[in-house]
Amino acid sequence: MTDFIKGLRNFRRGAWEMVASALIAAGVVMLMQPFALALFSWSFVVTLTGTVMFIIVSHFPE
Amino acid sequence: MLDTSIDRAARATPPAVARRIRGLSDRAIAWIFVAPSIFLLLAVNIFPLIWTIRLSFTNFRVNRPNAEVEFVGLKNYISVLTNGDIWLTMQATAHFLIATLVLQVLIGFSLAYLINKKFRGNDLWTTIIVLPMMLSPAVVGNFWTFLYQPQIGLFNYAVGFLTGTDPSSFSMIGDASLAPWAIVIVDTWMWTPFVMLICLAGLRSIPNSIYEAAECDRASKWRQFWTITIPMVLPFLMLAILFRGIENFKMFDLVVQLTGGGPGSITELTSINLKREAFEKWRTGYASAYAVILFVTVFGLASIYVKALNKVKQR
């Protein structure tokens, strides 16, 4: 956990890629869940944020 | 001195052309070779994508090419993301995804585990199991439609034989409660071998020495399975799940052949719904926004897939 926070603070690829992946996964789950239309409506913004973040952070140092 | 093919090609090149090529840098020659591929990529992939994104902000309808096209901002995106029918379509896709992934992983891994054991006719069985994967989805859809026929279908006959029910008393494709399972069964039948092959690669990558060390420590087979086999195959399994997840999210051909999205719209997955919006209702701008949403979702999943793939490669 400490390594993860340290990685985020030092802009390391691994930690930030994990955050971006979590956002993408959350966006996909929001898109397909059967519980709330509001979650479905915001899913695209979450997935797009995660995807753009993934593209940016994949250029961070290891 | 040897007369190589390079020497012969050099002699055959007209002096004017040879002079021109000799004057080019290595970088320029590399660009000449790469340029056709880049041009094709731009023309076939990038240009349509940019054009779709542009259309998604307009009210363009392809069946009214002379009508004035207006910029509507995010209206199409908001309409798609607040549409209850599209939400239901996404849920149908989610059900399809979850059912196929669970079945394919369970059966695929079990088959890989069995095939990994040495027995007579091992290679023959592997070939037979892998066959469905090699068929075209259109062909598979067509012959499963026959298998699912209530009157003459082999599937109905087999179910009737095993359960004692009348084969013509149920229709896998026509019944609203059975149709989703009809497409799940066909997709599982077709793509389980793919998951099996990936799992098999994972199982074969585990060195025997680890199992031998576990035997020395008197670890039971059950413990070896949970502490050696599963953790070492897991990255491969994740890869298979991601790949099948992305492919099934885009599923179109098989379902169109089998049920066409019916009965009603019970098996209407996102790709079929998108096709209806674009080419039956002719709402091109709206359908473009819908397509961009699906594209971003698949692109996001593909990014995770590539990351997982790199992790597996590093092993």
- The amino acid that residue B288 corresponds to is S
Q: What is the DSSP string of B56-84?
A: TTB---TT-TTSPP-B-TTHHHHHHHT-H
Work out the angle at residue A20's Cα, subtended by the Cα atoms of residues A17 and A26, and round it to the nearest 5 degrees. 140
Amino acid present at B273:
N
Is A20 inside any structural domain?
yes
Q: Which residues of B148-157 are buried (b: 16+ CB within 10 A; e: fewer)?
A: bbbeebebbb
pLDDT higher than 60, residue B1: no
| Rounded Cα distance, B42 and B40, in Å | 5
The answer to whether the CB of B172 falls within 8 A of the CB of B156 is yes
User: Quick one: pLDDT band at residue A3, thresholds 50, 70, 90?
Assistant: confident
Note whether B39 contacts A: Cβ–Cβ < 8 A: no
| Consecutive H or E run containing B24 | none
Q: Does pLDDT of B2 surpass 70?
A: no
Q: What pLDDT, in 10s, does the model give residues B257-289?
A: 999 888 888 899 999 999 999 999 999 999 999
Q: How far is B242 from chain A (nearest CA, A)?
A: 11
The Cα B174–Cα B180 span in angstroms is 10
Dig out the tokens for B183 from the structure: 């497409």
Is B246 in contact with A25 (CB distance < 8 Å)? Answer: no
In a domain, A44, yes or no: yes
Q: A32 vs B97: CB contact, 8 Å cut-off?
A: yes
Residue-level pLDDT at B168: 87
Best of A29, A44, A57 to substitute, by most chain B Cβ atoms within 10 angstroms, is: A44
Measure B293 CA to nearest chain A CA, in Å: 6
Q: Are A57 and A24 in contact (CB under 8 A)?
A: no
- Tokens 């944020």, residue? A49
Q: Are A61 and A12 in contact (CB under 8 A)?
A: yes
Rounded-to-10 torsion of CA B134, B138, B141, B144: -60
- In chain A, the number of structural domains is 1
> Cis bond leading into B65, ω under 30°?
no
What is the phi/psi pair of residue B71, to 5°?
-80, 125
SS3 A33: coil
Whether residue A10 is contained in a domain is answered as yes
- How far apart, in whole angstroms, are the C-alpha atoms of residue B21 and residue B27? 12
Q: Please say whether the beta carbons of B307 and A17 come within 8 A.
A: yes
The alpha carbon of residue A5 is apart from the nearest alpha carbon of chain B, in Å, by 20
Structural domains of chain B sorted by starting position, each given as residue range(s) with its CATH number in brackets: 5-55 (no CATH), 79-314 (1.10.3720.10)
The CA radius of gyration of chain B, in Å to the nearest whole number, is: 27
Reported as a single tens digit per residue, the pLDDT across B62-84 is 999 888 989 999 999 999 999 99
pLDDT digits (tens, 9 = 90+) for B14-71: 877 777 777 778 888 889 999 999 999 999 999 999 999 999 999 999 999 888 989 9
In a domain, A62, yes or no: no
Give the count of beta carbons closer than 10 Å to the beta carbon of residue A14: 14
Q: Burial code of B85-112, b = ≥16 C-beta within 10 A, e = fewer?
A: ebbebbebbbbbbebbbebbbebbbebb
Pick from B96, B303, B306, B309 the residue to mutate for testing the A interface (most A CBs within 10 Å): B303
Checking if the pLDDT of B10 tops 80, the result is no
Range of the domain at A41: 2-57
Structure tokens of B24? Answer: 């080019």
CB contact under 8 A, B81 and A27: no
Task: Given the cut 0.90, state whether the ipTM is greater than it.
Answer: yes
List the one residue out of B109, B146, B90 whose CA is nearest residue B269.
B90
